[in-house]
Structure 1
Amino acid sequence: MESATAVTLTLDLPGWPGHLAGQHVDVRLTAEDGYSTQRSYSIASAPNGRSLDLTVQRTSGGEVSPYLVDELVPGDRLELRGPVGGWFVWRQQQTEPILLVAGGSGLVPLMCMVRAREAAGSRAPFRLLCAARTPSDLLYRSELRQGAPGLDTTYLYSREAPADSPRPPGRIAPEDLVRSGWPPDFEPTCYVCGPTAFVEKTAAYLVLLGHAPERVRTERFG
């Protein structure tokens, strides 16, 4: 379990064509009576051509995530479509500074970028800003604590922060992006992912701070 409500699934995919960091797949479930439903899930693992990881957050009232989190067992088969997406991606040829801003489970595709950077041996400087409600809601806690060369990580908590947190609980604000992001004149590419309201507000803050709109890439859900 990544948290009390999230798990990471590793899928073996013979013949998988590979993916770019930031892409997603569509997962389709079909019941015995023929009813089917599908949801999109971001890929969490760096490309390796053999398998992929999906981190799934259980959604109350959802049709797909409760099954994936609570009922799926090793050996079960899933129907996938993908990989999907070509704009919200990081490529190893990119050398400019990168700012990643995640709200909740929006961390998943950004973590894929972090892992892809490390796997590729890239020296592009990364700064990761993770926003979560409480420390227990933060995904990939142990991996992020280990850190990586060239990766700076900052945590923001909206409801409850650890006692040693330098910042009190609260929603993301422009000063957080100034303190933990890149100056606009460094011309970073900014990736923002999370709930719609979080993404729209954060993207607006970045543009207000002087970042070029075309360098702010967003992916939203909910």
Structure 2
Amino acid sequence: MTEEGPRSPHPSQAGDEPLSGAVPAPGGPGGGAGRAPSGGWRTATVVGVRRPVPRAVELQLDVADRVRHLAGQHYVVRLTADDGYTAQRSYSVASAPGDPLVELFVERLDDGEVSTFLADVVEPGDRLEVRGPIGGWFVWDGERPALLVGGGTGVVPLVAMLRAARDLGRTDLLRTAVSTRTLAELPYADELLEAGALVVTTREPHGVRPAGRLTAADLVPLCEPGRTAYVCGSDGFAEAASRLLVDLGIPAADVRVERFGASG
């Protein structure tokens, strides 16, 4: 999800989403089961901190009075300075809905107010203000076939979908393709490979495939009628991947896109 530069709150984080109850989730193939859960502000205790790839951190949070999320939803993390100034950013949930902890993956950006604190300062036992789960569009209900396409850290909500499918015993419903500069930089690389994901690297060869961007030829074996496509990544990646899918015959209405990147 989005991380931005100093003092530049994202419009979608300005309180325009419900704080409690539920928000409508779209029907049709791949949609949520009628209504997507939505949680208000909670206190979360940090119980785990891992740094599996460079310039990033995984946080496991024990959220008080947690509302169970759907795979694909996100949380807002809010920090408050001593002078009362606040900064908040959104991060996709990587954990499956059935996991008792909420796992967030945070990419560290040098000018990020929130990501630098979460990556460099936060330790187990610390408490954070969080709001979530949020989002009713980019969610997978665990029942319908889907094609997951992610770029870089955009794989995070897709990992939540893969984990949900594994817990449900329905890994057969998902096909996955991801793109990364190098395998060492790919979040959850081992888990994605174990799940059978096609992994494309743009800065180094991977297996028998030379370095290069995701292509239509890569996606053809994964595209089947009736699959909703979930695309997550940077603006450029999301635009290119969505165009490939539509050109391959997936209706635009069946391509759900979530973009991330700095907008401040």
Aligned to 1:201: 240
Aligned to 2:156: 108
Relative contact order, higher structure (CA 8 A, sep 6+): 2
1:157 aligns with 2:198: no
8 Å contact kept, 2:159–2:192: no
8 Å contact kept, 2:175–2:197: yes
Gaps of 5+ in 1: none
Equivalent residues, number: 211
Aligned to 2:60: 10
Aligned to 1:81: 131
Superposed CA RMSD in Å reads 1.4
Please give the TM-score of this superposition, normalised by the length of structure 2: 0.76
In 1, the alpha carbon distance for the partners of 2:74 and 2:91 equals: 5
Please give the TM-score of this superposition, normalised by the length of structure 1: 0.90
1:182 aligns with 2:223: yes
Aligned residue runs from structure 1 range 15-26, under 5 A? 15-26=65-76
In 2, the alpha carbon distance for the partners of 1:143 and 1:131 equals: 15
Deviation at 1:209, TM superposition (A): 1.1
Which residue of 28, 41, 59 corresponds with 2:109? 59
8 Å contact kept, 2:77–2:89: yes
In 1, the alpha carbon distance for the partners of 2:161 and 2:61 equals: 19
Deviation at 1:123, TM superposition (A): 5.0
8 Å contact kept, 2:98–2:164: no
Cα distance change of structure 1 residues 63 and 48 upon mapping to structure 2, 3 Å threshold: same
- 1:121-173 CA-to-partner distances (Å, cap 9, x unmatched) read 2254311111000111111123234x24xxx31111111224xx222112222
Deviation at 1:49, TM superposition (A): 6.5
8 Å contact kept, 2:93–2:102: yes
1:37 aligns with 2:87: yes
Q: Percent same amino acid at aligned positions?
A: 47
Gaps of 5+ in 2: 1-50
8 Å contact kept, 2:67–2:132: no
Aligned to 2:210: 168
